[in-house]
Amino acid sequence: MNKIDFQCIIIGAGPAGARAAYELSKIQKDILIIDYRDKLGDKLCTGIIGKNCADEFGLDKDLIYHEANSADIYSPDNNHYSLHSKDSKAMIIDRVEYIKRLTKLAKNNGVKIYKNSRVQSISINNNKVQLSYKSLNKIYNVTSKTIIIASGLENKLLTDINLNPLDKKHILNGSQIIIKNHLNIKNTKVFLGSKYGPQGFGWTVPINQNKLLIGVLTKGKSKEITKSFMKNLLDQYQIKKTDTKEIKSWGIPIKPIEKTYAERTLVIGDAAGLVKPVTGGGIYYSQLSGKIAAEIIHKALSENSFNEDALAEYEIKWKNKIDSEIKRGNKMREILFNFSDQKLSQLLNFSLTNKLILKILLSKEISFDNHFKSFEKFIYNKNIIKIYSDSKSKLIKSIIPSLKKHILN
């Protein structure tokens, strides 16, 4: 056998790749991370994680900008509803520093990191994986026994190993900008309605007292919608215009690819389409898949078995944890985000002005990291069923049976 440089090469150092590298580095040597960025982890993201994610993977307290126990929801008719919980539902964190620390832990365990390097191609034969990557305008080749693809929506790399990329219809468009918090917004605000594009919504998330995130997730033209959204906000607060060149855009998958493994290869995180479909959040599922991938790669290396059958266990394991959540979350997104503005406003007004509904929505049982499981608990609650079924409105009366029929069956 020809000389092989590494046991595993991980392409991409976001939360998925960084987690995989760190977990694998505790039990294997000769691991490499390749990432096209100089600043690892720097990507469009609000940096919101839930309590489940923090509890499972750990979080240094100094990385938390602030804990989110309140939010304002704005309906299409511009009414707004304030939600406040005694307990923190989520945290807004310094995503870049979070990834930086995770990769540093991996590096301390011997992982090598090639920054400013973009993988150009992958080829696999019976004995090794060969990667070609570009750095400083030069092309280099490197070999490995296994690879983990954690590079986001990099379609070409998937086709190199005969995996099908995700169809564009299952990819949402996200855009976001960071501005000075002249608006003095102190908590997260979510804006719903058709003005944010098909199945879209907007948000403002204060990072701290000085900085504010403004963004949109939609099936429409997110950058143009974000420009309009930001202009309306700034006009409302009589703030001077901000340079829209700073708006960053990204594709966000809301459905897994057909197959997340191949010979000597596993695909994780955004690259595999493992994202919460309702909000587009990917940090939690990325780390879940990264941890599982590390376990399966370690087993493959230990047994010197790298065929598809040996690696198929990875997909079985992540599906056991989150496949139902993703599939049903997608159904929930399609129904809730396809209400007309009028119906959505009516539903929000009925739901978010009822004290008992709010109490249940904000209870400890409702998790930011498991949208569908939380939704399921909500619509099976006897008190909730009675509140909606007693309504005189046909829309409100039919909402629970309709959701059960289309989502749970």
Tens of pLDDT along 89-145? 788 888 999 999 999 999 999 999 999 999 999 999 878 999 999 999 999 999 999
Structure tokens at 323: 């496949």
pLDDT above 60 (res 176):
yes
User: Structurally, what CATH architecture does the domain formed by 6-45+95-166+254-322 represent?
Assistant: 3-Layer(bba) Sandwich (3.50)
| Mean pLDDT along residues 291-318 | 97
Q: What does the mean pLDDT of the chain come to?
A: 90
DSSP 29-63: S-EEEE-S-SSTT-SS---EEEHHHHHHH---GGG
CATH 3.50.50.60 segments of the chain: 6-45+95-166+254-322
* pLDDT surpasses 60 at 163: yes
The answer to whether the CB of 85 falls within 8 A of the CB of 67 is no
User: What architecture is domain 169-252?
Assistant: 2-Layer Sandwich (3.30)
Q: What is the pLDDT of residues 179-238, one digit of tens each?
A: 887 777 888 999 999 999 999 999 999 887 788 899 999 999 999 999 999 988 888 876
**How high is the pLDDT of residue 1?**
44
Instruction: Select from 169, 350, 174 the least CA-distant residue to 247.
Output: 174
* Residue ranges of the chain that CATH labels 3.30.9.10: 169-252
CA distances from 74 to 6, 348, 359, 404 (A): 51, 9, 19, 25
Tell whether pTM > 0.85: yes
Of the pLDDT bands very low, low, confident and very high (cuts 50, 70, 90), residue 244 is low
Query: H or E stretch including 217?
Result: strand 211-218
| 3-state SS, residue 108 | helix
Short-list 286, 262, 259, CA closest to 274:
286
Sign of CA dihedral 28, 270, 68, 187: positive
Retrieve residue 369's tokens.
Answer: 């990291």
